[in-house]
């Protein structure tokens, strides 16, 4: 089976963990082991991943560096694809059979210049702050900030992905048997202005991009890997229950918050509705069982 697997930000950096090289290496090594197990089951895997904490750190570093040299957010997104892609490729090279080629492709993604998301920044990036610090930084740096759980974070526009511009290369290498890492951080958002491609300062939701990727390269299944075992109804209440299986219609009828399962649920349902393929949401450690349909929440027609 050809699977597009999407690693959530919490698979690359555990909740509350400081972003250091050592933590990144350890988490990526752990993720690579789980992904290699999927390959060992005979699946072809195309991997995408989030970049929220990493691109936020790069933005902080850029602003702290020499005056006038800070990169725009599209360049920082591209840097994060290089950084995280390299860490993943390296540990996958240690975990996969040595004869398997691994390719990490930068991925530009077309978004609409008039996407309403540009007027309403919503995607949290970087570290958490208390409310006062967040508001001070917003005033000092021109950021938008918003609550994220009990803390505050910088938020940036998150336009909808319309088309991966590098899907042909991804499909060719996947068909040739390579393990492809691509569209990291939701991809690098670009748009057409007067007939030319221009970067835009935004971060695309990586689950939306994963669904689009899976559709464009004809994957059989989309698996969104995170740190919770399944989609829950009444999550965090005494009545909470894991959903084992649902149709897109059933799942969407429940409604899920934007900051929690919402984007994953919408991405999974979107892929199933658009292609007739299967999608699932679950824990990284359950990847093999999720692919087999025995763990996680399965979404199918």
Interface residues with a second copy (CB under 8 A)?
18-21, 57-58, 60-62, 64-66, 68-72, 74-75, 78-83, 85-87, 89-90, 93-94, 101-106, 108, 127, 165-166, 168-169, 172-173, 176, 178, 188, 190, 196-199
- Per the annotation, the verdict on 166 as an active-site residue is no
Rounded to whole angstroms, the Cα distance separating 245 from 258 reads 21
To the query of whether residue 206 is one of the catalytic residues in this protein, the response is: yes
CA distance 179 to 128: 34
Choice among 126, 186, 206, 282 that is catalytic: 206
CA 64 → CA 53, 70, 125, 143, distances in Å? 17, 8, 16, 15
Minimum distance, C-beta of residue 25 to a second copy, in the bound complex (Å): 9
Query: If you ran DSSP here, which 8-state letter would residue 179 be given?
Result: E
* Residue 120 appears among annotated catalytic residues: no
Q: Which of 27, 187, 264, 296 is catalytic?
A: 264
Q: With respect to a second copy, which residue has the nearer C-beta, 22 or 119?
A: 22
User: What's the half-sphere exposure (Cβ side, CA atoms, 13 Å) at 235?
Assistant: 14
What is the distance between the alpha carbons of residues 19 and 8, in angstroms, rounded to a whole number? 15
Between 156 and 298, CB nearer to a second copy: 156
Strand, helix or coil for residue 293: coil
199/262 with CB nearer a second copy = 199
| Active-site residue, 10 included | yes
Residue closer to a second copy (CB basis): 105 or 214: 105
Instruction: Output the smallest distance, CB 42 to a second copy, in A.
Output: 21
Q: Which of 147, 295, 129 is nearest to 226 (CA)?
A: 295
Q: What are phi and psi of 227, to 5 degrees?
A: -110, 15
Catalytic residue ranges:
9-10, 123, 206, 264
């Amino acid at each position: 089976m050809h699977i597009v697997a999407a690693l959530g930000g919490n698979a690359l950096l555990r909740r509350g963990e400081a972003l250091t090289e050592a933590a990144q290496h350890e988490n990526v090594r752990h993720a690579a082991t789980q992904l290699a197990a999927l390959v060992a089951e005979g699946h072809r895997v195309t991997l995408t991943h989030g970049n929220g904490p990493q691109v936020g750190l790069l933005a902080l570093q850029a602003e702290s560096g020499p005056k006038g040299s800070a990169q725009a957010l599209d360049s920082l997104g591209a840097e994060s694809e290089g950084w995280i892609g390299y860490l993943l490729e390296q540990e996958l090279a240690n975990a996969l059979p040595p004869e398997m080629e691994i390719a990490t492709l930068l991925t530009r993604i077309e978004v609409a210049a008039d996407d309403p998301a540009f007027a309403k920044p919503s995607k949290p990036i970087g570290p958490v702050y208390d409310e006062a610090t967040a508001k001070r930084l917003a005033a000092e740096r021109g950021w938008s900030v918003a609550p994220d759980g009990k803390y505050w974070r910088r938020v940036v526009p998150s336009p909808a992905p319309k088309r991966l511009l590098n899907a042909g290369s991804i499909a060719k290498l996947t068909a040739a048997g390579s393990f492809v890492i691509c569209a990291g951080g939701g991809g690098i958002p670009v748009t057409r202005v007067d007939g030319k491609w221009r970067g835009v300062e935004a971060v695309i939701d990586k689950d939306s991009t994963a669904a689009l990727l899976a559709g464009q390269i004809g994957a059989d299944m989309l698996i969104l890997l995170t740190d919770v075992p399944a989609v829950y109804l009444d999550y965090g209440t005494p009545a909470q229950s894991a959903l084992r299986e649902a149709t897109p219609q059933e799942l969407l009828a429940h409604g899920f918050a934007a900051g929690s399962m919402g984007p994953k649920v919408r991405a999974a349902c979107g892929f199933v509705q658009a292609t007739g393929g299967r999608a699932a949401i679950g824990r990284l450690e359950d990847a093999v069982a999720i692919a087999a349909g025995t763990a996680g929440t399965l979404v199918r027609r």
